[in-house]
Amino acid sequence: MEQFQFVTVSHPDQIKDKGKQNTIRRHAIRSSLKKNRDDAEKRRENFVEVEVSAKGHGLIKKRTGMEKESVGTSPSAARVDPFDTLPGSPDPLRVLVGHKSVRQVGEPVFCVGDAGLVFFQGMETVSRGAFTDPALFHALSLILSLAANNNIPNLECLKYRGETLKSLTERMADLKMVPAVSTLTAILLLIGYEYRVDGTTSKSIALHIRAVDEVIRMNREANIELSDAIRRALFWQDLYSCFFVSTTRLLSHENYPEFCWARDPDRIYSYVVPLGFRSISRTLPPDFQVLLEDLNALCSLVDFNCGPGGTPINKLPIDNGQAWIESRLVNLLYDSRKSREESNLYEACIFALFLCTYKLYTGIWEGCFIPEFCASQVLGLVSRATSISPAKHSPEIVLWLLFVSGALAERSRTKLRASVLILSLYRERVEQLHQDWKQFKETLKSFIWSEYTMEQKFLRFWEELHPGQES
């Protein structure tokens, strides 16, 4: 449809010619009709047409406007990166960011939001032009590729890992160049890849953790300010590396004063060892008993503040308390692994307590990797402990460990594994303990328990074990 009509005249009187007048009139009518159609089209896109029942006035039909088909193709690398500033094509990276499995793969460095945007927690400087840093570009591609392949490395991962290491080596070899935040972030992502991949040696993880720590020290000496989130991310990567692959810890909660929580004298009554652990507490290290008291108090604090009409948990500053407990749990686990004593049930309790602490509040880190790892470790350790001395351990603590794994795990296969152990392998020992939900809930409350964050998860798992039975 043409938008303009040019009428050529050589004298003002010619405009009065009937032929030219008709031409002008026809063009005006066509333009007016087109404008009306365009306006109607816009109205159809902005409003929803409905039909209402004459009897009940309910909605019986809903019809939206016709969606326009996109005739364009996805933008090419040249359009996304017109000045050729990125070290690689952004198209594969964009596809990886949209994969359903990558949402929390970057914990504790980044997460992927609902809109497919990469969000670097607390590291705003990373997102401004940082992908022009080859190390970060390839490191992000590496960790996303691993997640998209269900945490199993493939050729694509090996390619990105090689590119990441090459870029980091070149960057760190330049003694005059102060590493940017994006470079530090790339090293932290590489550490996350390494402890997720079976067969990776702990030596490389320790080397990269020391490298980040050294670079932070160099920046501090050069009076270059770094985000506190970089320090915290390094703390968590060091902790997780020890937790997953038994590296020697280079950092501790003692290096982070904000993590060291003092006991609240007004809530001293909540600092007690839960009754369920008292049967084994005498055989456990004193530090473990103190930790049980602190975790019990933290759960009590959550329930006290987050009840009906109370404070939303995201407004309650408990993340430092969680770090304070989880860091000490990892230290206890590391010490236990170094000892030669048989301590399967004790280590199972450590993993279960870590999972309970982690699940109190996850913020943006509602992922599967850490919960599944903890739950799987608990199930394996319980099986080994009970196979060695089946009558030695109380059925209550065995059942609590199995329920923690089944109720707080995210994936169905882990829940199924816990269910099989409860309903078959340990059926004779624990069957009578979980038949009635109200009585069983009292057993759960004698261990680590938070009404606010745990009850619904444990109830749903119990209902799966008792289909058709009322709670």
For the chain, the straight-line distance linking the first and the last C-alpha, in angstroms and rounded, comes to 69
Phi and psi angles of residue 130, each rounded to the nearest 5 degrees, phi first: -75, -25
| Confidence at residue 358, expressed as pLDDT on a 0 to 100 scale | 96
| Confidence at residue 404, expressed as pLDDT on a 0 to 100 scale | 98
- Identify whether the C-beta of residue 145 lies closer than 8 Å to the C-beta of residue 102: no
| Confidence at residue 352, expressed as pLDDT on a 0 to 100 scale | 98
Would you kindly state where each structural domain of the chain is located, as residue ranges?
A: 12-63, 86-251, 257-465
Highest mean pLDDT among 89-103, 272-286, 316-330: 316-330
User: Tokens 């008709």 sit at which residue?
Assistant: 22
- Identify whether the C-beta of residue 76 lies closer than 8 Å to the C-beta of residue 82: no
Instruction: State the Cα torsion 448-405-356-380 to the nearest 10°.
Output: 100
Give 439's pLDDT tier (boundaries 50, 70, 90): very high
Annotate 115-143 with DSSP letters as a single string. Answer: TS-EEETT-GGGTTTGGGSHHHHHHHHHH
Please compute the mean of the pLDDT values over residues 35-56 and round it to a whole number: 46
Please compute the mean of the pLDDT values over residues 232-237 and round it to a whole number: 90
- Identify whether the C-beta of residue 208 lies closer than 8 Å to the C-beta of residue 187: yes
Q: Report how far residue 449's alpha carbon sits from residue 443's, in angstroms, rounded to the nearest whole number.
A: 10
Phi and psi angles of residue 57, each rounded to the nearest 5 degrees, phi first: 60, 25
Q: Is the pLDDT of residue 16 over 50?
A: yes
Q: Which residues, listed in sequence order, are joined to residue 110 by a DSSP beta bridge?
A: 120
Q: Report how far residue 274's alpha carbon sits from residue 292's, in angstroms, rounded to the nearest whole number.
A: 7
Q: Report how far residue 440's alpha carbon sits from residue 437's, in angstroms, rounded to the nearest whole number.
A: 5
**Both structure tokens of 144:** 């996303």
Q: Is the pLDDT of residue 311 over 60?
A: yes
**Both structure tokens of 138:** 């390839």
Q: Report how far residue 242's alpha carbon sits from residue 253's, in angstroms, rounded to the nearest whole number.
A: 14
Tell me: the pLDDT tens digits for 442-464? 999 999 999 999 999 999 999 99
Q: Is the pLDDT of residue 47 over 50?
A: no
| Confidence at residue 281, expressed as pLDDT on a 0 to 100 scale | 76
pTM: 0.78
Is residue 20 exposed (0-12), middle (13-18) or buried (19+ Cβ within 10 Å)? middle
Tell me: the pLDDT tens digits for 106-165? 888 887 776 667 777 656 655 555 567 889 889 999 999 998 888 888 999 999 999 999
Range of lowest pLDDT (36-45, 55-64, 121-130): 55-64
- Identify whether the C-beta of residue 425 lies closer than 8 Å to the C-beta of residue 380: no
CA-nearest of 161, 251, 168 to 197 is 161
Q: Is the pLDDT of residue 430 over 80?
A: yes
Q: Report how far residue 389's alpha carbon sits from residue 110's, in angstroms, rounded to the nearest whole number.
A: 44
Give 256's pLDDT tier (boundaries 50, 70, 90): confident
CA-nearest of 356, 443, 460, 333 to 399 is 443
Kindly report the length of the chain. Answer: 471
Q: Is the pLDDT of residue 81 over 60?
A: no
Q: What sign for the dihedral angle of Cα 70, 73, 78, 81?
A: positive
- Identify whether the C-beta of residue 446 lies closer than 8 Å to the C-beta of residue 399: no
Tell me: the pLDDT tens digits for 336-393? 998 877 789 999 999 999 999 999 998 878 778 899 999 999 999 999 988 877 667 8
| Confidence at residue 454, expressed as pLDDT on a 0 to 100 scale | 96
- Identify whether the C-beta of residue 357 lies closer than 8 Å to the C-beta of residue 295: yes
Please compute the mean of the pLDDT values over residues 231-235 and round it to a whole number: 88
Residues 6+ positions from 164 with CB-CB distance below 8 Å: 135, 138, 139, 142, 186, 189, 190
Residue 173 identity (one-letter amino acid):
A
CA-nearest of 371, 365, 452, 385 to 413 is 371
| Confidence at residue 346, expressed as pLDDT on a 0 to 100 scale | 94
